[in-house]
Amino acid sequence: MKPCSRCRAVLPFEMFSPGNRSRKDNLHAYCKPCRSELQMARWYRKQGREIPAKHRRRVDCLSLDKMMSRVTALVPGQLVAIL
């Protein structure tokens, strides 16, 4: 389990992308949903476009629950109970 530096949720290691060799655990500091959101926002800013509302909002527990059910064998609703 590891905390995300952006959303502060404590998540399993599978929710973090590998590749940051400067860190002791070789994982990025942000969870996959937070990294995806930041990369999408960066893309819109580079294109000179306004970021749509659906990409501006922060990751909530329900979207984390859906992501976790894909990564692990958790049933939806189980992650919220764990947190």
pTM: 0.60
**What is the distance between the alpha carbons of residues 59 and 62, in angstroms, rounded to a whole number?**
8
Number of domains in the chain: 1
The band of 59, judged by pLDDT with boundaries at 50, 70 and 90, is very low
Higher-scoring residue by pLDDT: 62, 37: 37
Specify the higher pLDDT residue, 81 or 10: 10
Neighbouring CB atoms inside 10 A of 6's CB total: 16
Residue 38 domain boundaries: 2-82
Token representation of residue 69: 């059910």
Handedness of CA 13, 26, 41, 47 (dihedral sign): negative
pLDDT over 70 (residue 5): yes
Average pLDDT, the chain: 76
More confident residue, 76 or 46: 46
Residue spans of alpha helices (H) in 1-83: 32-47, 53-56, 61-71, 78-82
